[in-house]
Amino acid sequence: TTPAPGAVHVPEWLPEERQRELVEACRGWARGPVPMRRTELPGGGVMSVQSVSLGWHWSPYRYTRRAGDVNGAPVAPLPEWLVELGRRAVADAYQDEAAGRAYRPDVALVNFYGAGATMGMHQDKDERSDAPVVSLSVGDACLFRLGNTEGRGRPWQDLRLESGDLLVFGGPSRFAYHGVPKVYPGTAEPSVGPATGRLNLTLRETGLPG
């Protein structure tokens, strides 16, 4: 389905077996070299979501090769199989093999939503590229809010994202405000995991050199 121009939602895109593999991979990345942690914001706040990134380190609001907030630890590389998964996601979502081949993500952000975690309405504008963002959800379902490009307020559309769902945001939706107002605890398929909570993995092109 197409909730907005350039935005494509493909329910149940990732087979359960691949979801399980993604949870296992996230467990590994969460251990380090940059551990999964709540990012501290420059204003003094702390995000309720826990995050770790691959390829580049996201620290608000820029990308670096080392984690300044974690003793300068070098970030783990973005594995080639994730790059390929992102290219397949773009090709499938847009039904356009050339769009998939053109997509070269160089960073993955892994977000974990534990009990009560939410993400406020924001734009992703730290990338110097208008290439699509690919989002994969695993675990508990959530309420995802896709807003407009003008501000945090209405109009917006509410979507329920389930484990295995793919969302691709390109074109006019790439710089839309969006957020996750709620996670529905206990809605995950127990065999997939995580035991509780929601994982979201986004792939992006930073537009930064090598």
Residues within the interface to ligand MD3 (CB under 6 A): 109, 111, 119, 124, 133, 135, 167, 169, 173-174, 176, 178, 180, 200, 202
Residues found near Fe ion in the complex (CB under 5 A): 124
Binds 135: which of ligand MD3, Fe ion, none (CB < 5-8 Å by kind) = ligand MD3
Sign of the C-alpha dihedral, residues 192, 30, 86, 154?
positive
DSSP 85-136: HHHHHHHHHHT-HHHHHH----EEEEEEE-TT--EEEE----SS--PPEEEE
Q: Which is nearer to ligand MD3, 59 or 200 (CB)?
A: 200
Q: Which residue is nearest to ligand MD3 (CB)?
A: 200
Binds 111: which of Fe ion, ligand MD3, none (CB < 5-8 Å by kind) = ligand MD3
Q: How buried is 166 (Cβ within 10 angstroms: 0-12 exposed, 13-18 middle, 19+ buried)? A: buried
Binds 50: which of ligand MD3, Fe ion, none (CB < 5-8 Å by kind) = none
Tokens, residue 124:
């992703």
Q: Which is nearer to Fe ion, 69 or 124 (CB)?
A: 124
